[in-house]
Amino acid sequence: MIDLKQLQKNFSLFEKKLKTKNVKSSLLEELSKLFGELKLAKQNFEEAQAIQNQKSKLVGQYMKDKKDVTAIKEEIAKNKVKLVTLQNKMREADELLNKLALGIPNLPDDNVPIGDDESHNILIKEVLERPSFNFKPREHWELSEDNGWIDFERGVKLAKSRFSVLSGVAAKLERALISYMLDFNTKHGFKEVSVPLLVNSDTMQGTGQLPKFEDDLFKIEDENLYLIPTAEVPLTNLFRDEILKYSDLPIKLTASTACFRKEAGSGGRDVRGLIRQHQFQKVELVAISTPEKSDEIFEQMVTCASDLLTSLKLPHRIMQLCTGDLGFSAAKTVDLEVWLPGQDCYREISSISNTRDFQARRAKIRFKDGKKNNMVHTLNGSSLAVGRTLLAIMENNQQEDGTIKIPDVLKGYLD
């Protein structure tokens, strides 16, 4: 959640930055209107409170001077009723402001390039050379038919479209990838954690999924529980409503979970293959940091994900996202895009974000520095989307006869 006090002090600056994230002017105008209403409600309440205090003091003075206090007590009683009404108006204005603020995205960092969409993202660097083939490389769903790895039709039969079934080597390879990624991350200082796949609405609100993205979540009927869209949600909220010790920071965590997304806004994109599924496996990185360390940890997380791809010998590039392509909670994001020769393009496989204190303010995650409590910074990133890693291995390691070579680092996990 954005800092409402700072927003009120620097509204024009915040407005300018939020517009670069494609926030509608009407929403900002409504926010400004609510600030005005709250300010007026507070002013009216404080004025009535001052009058009440003044008249209450006069009662004592009147009694001391043996004056009739009947009239002034009636005035105090009437003003008390007015105070209750004004206090309710102030509370209502404050609640409306906070409700609206929950739908306002995080401010982009000053060094994030300004742009409307992914076409304005900036290439940081390319890692590893793309493979060359003496035949036309095929896409992973074609390779799957030859090898019997992924059954899309039975996934639809069991559930609906955008579900799939892995079998044989593919199922083993998925398990191997998860184990390898977790081992890789723990060697880089991330503690492995196993978390629930179902979380409550407070948890979803803490990381920014609610209320804005409720349509993209799978909710359990008649329960205050949702299937997680990413392990970032439970991992970050482990510390909701807590005050951490300065000496315990940074906290670096990794977890493997199934993830569930309705993909309500995908508009029919990537309907074939494993790119955009309703259920998929992902290994996640999350960090809780002091503000002064968060940029350093951000770079560590980007390096960790890139080195992981490199160890699998998967060519990829690192992209700096522009303001218009940033996620709701992100102040800064770097995407890692893996090369898919069958599709002849790069596709996102990891997204590393620094949310600064945006999620911490929503989830009330603080740390004690001396006698003062401060908001932590939270960071998250994919390491990696397992299904997309699997298809990248398939397309980059395909042979002319349709067979697929297994990366050397995974062979020990398949024995």
Which entry of 138, 162, 261, 366 is annotated as an active-site residue?
261
Environment class of residue 52 by beta-carbon count within 10 Å: exposed (0-12), middle (13-18) or buried (19+)?
A: middle
* Confidence (pLDDT) at 268: 58
Count of CB atoms situated within 10 Å of the CB of 110: 8
Q: List 404's β-bridge partners, or say none.
A: 398
Q: How far apart are CA 79 and CA 319, in angstroms?
A: 61
Which entry of 351, 353, 382, 383 is annotated as an active-site residue?
351
The token pair at 280 is 């998929």
Q: How far apart are CA 160 and CA 335, in angstroms?
A: 29
Which entry of 130, 276, 317, 347 is annotated as an active-site residue?
276
Domains of the chain with bracketed CATH: 4-101 (1.10.287.40), 118-411 (3.30.930.10)
* Confidence (pLDDT) at 143: 94
Which residues lie closer than 8 Å to 302 by C-beta, 6 or more apart?
318, 334, 336, 352, 381
Contact 108, 17 (CB under 8 A): yes
Q: How far apart are CA 176 and CA 170, in angstroms?
A: 10
Strand, helix or coil for residue 378: strand
Residue linked to tokens 């920071």: 249
Q: How far apart are CA 205 and CA 52, in angstroms?
A: 39
DSSP states of 279-333 = EEEEEEEEEEE-GGGHHHHHHHHHHHHHHHHHHTT--EEEEEPPGGG--SS-SEE
Nearest alpha-carbon partner for 413 in 183, 135, 228, 96: 183
**What is the residue-level pLDDT of the chain in tens, covering all 415 positions?**
888 888 888 889 999 999 999 998 888 889 889 989 999 999 999 998 998 888 888 887 878 777 887 888 888 888 889 999 999 999 999 999 989 999 999 999 999 999 999 999 999 999 999 999 999 999 999 999 999 999 999 999 999 999 999 999 999 999 999 999 999 999 999 999 999 999 999 999 999 999 999 999 999 999 999 999 999 999 999 999 999 999 999 999 999 999 999 986 565 566 678 888 999 999 999 999 999 999 999 999 999 999 999 999 999 999 999 999 999 999 999 999 999 999 999 999 999 999 999 999 999 999 999 889 999 999 999 999 999 999 999 999 999 999 999 999 999 999 8
* Confidence (pLDDT) at 266: 60
CA distances from 260 to 53, 105, 204, 282 (A): 56, 22, 13, 10
125-156 in b/e form (b: 16+ CB < 10 A) is eebbeeeeeeeebbbbbebbeebebbbbeebe
Nearest alpha-carbon partner for 223 in 197, 195, 200: 200
Phi, psi of 142 (to 5 degrees): -70, -45
Q: How far apart are CA 326 and CA 309, in angstroms?
A: 23
Residue 194 zone, left/alpha/beta (φ > 0; ψ -120 to 50; rest): beta
pTM to 2 decimals? 0.91
Contact 381, 352 (CB under 8 A): yes
Residue linked to tokens 């493979």: 131
- Is 348 tagged catalytic? yes
- Is 261 tagged catalytic? yes
* Confidence (pLDDT) at 74: 85
